[in-house]
Amino acid sequence: MDETKQPGISFDSIALVKEEFWRDYDVPVNSKVNFKVGISTSQDGDKYFAQLTFNVALTAEEKEVCKINTVWVGFFSVVDGHENMDINYYIKENSAALMFPFIREHIAVITQKAGIKPIYLPPINIRALLKKNEKQG
């Protein structure tokens, strides 16, 4: 690997492949936001995929008042056969961070459309969160 060059890997697209949404009739503005994230990767020929599960729950007075469970797939490929980094490592370590801005935007929009205070997920170190989740099982 030449650290002075780009990785030679393309983030081709992202797709929302599954979503479950539920909200109570009463969702207090001061509800607490909790979220979980998980990742798996796969390959089909020269196409590489990262599947990210992202679950958000709002709770108020220890009662769940909103739940959003989503599954996203990121599509990756090597650019013109010029891979400068192991693509499997790249996807495992970087795909979630590349996909997260799209997920943040979707969560904000869907909660706003649901008539509740939009959930603006904070910027996070998603790699660290995934590693923490791996350790917890």
- Return the CATH number at 132: 3.10.420.10
Q: pLDDT tens, 35-87?
A: 899 999 999 988 999 999 999 999 999 999 999 999 999 999 888 766 667 78
The answer to whether residue 3 is domain-embedded is no
Q: Are 71 and 52 in contact (CB under 8 A)?
A: yes
Q: 126 lies in which domain range? A: 9-136
The answer to whether residue 1 is domain-embedded is no
Number of domains the chain contains: 1
Tokens of 50: 């990262």
Indicate the pLDDT class of residue 4, thresholds 50, 70 and 90: low
Q: State the DSSP H helix or E strand holding residue 50, giving kind and residue range, or none if neither.
A: strand 47-60
Please state the pTM of the whole predicted model: 0.85
Cα–Cα distance measured from residue 112 to residue 101, given in angstroms and rounded to the nearest whole number: 17
Q: pLDDT tens, 88-120?
A: 888 888 899 999 999 999 999 999 999 999 999
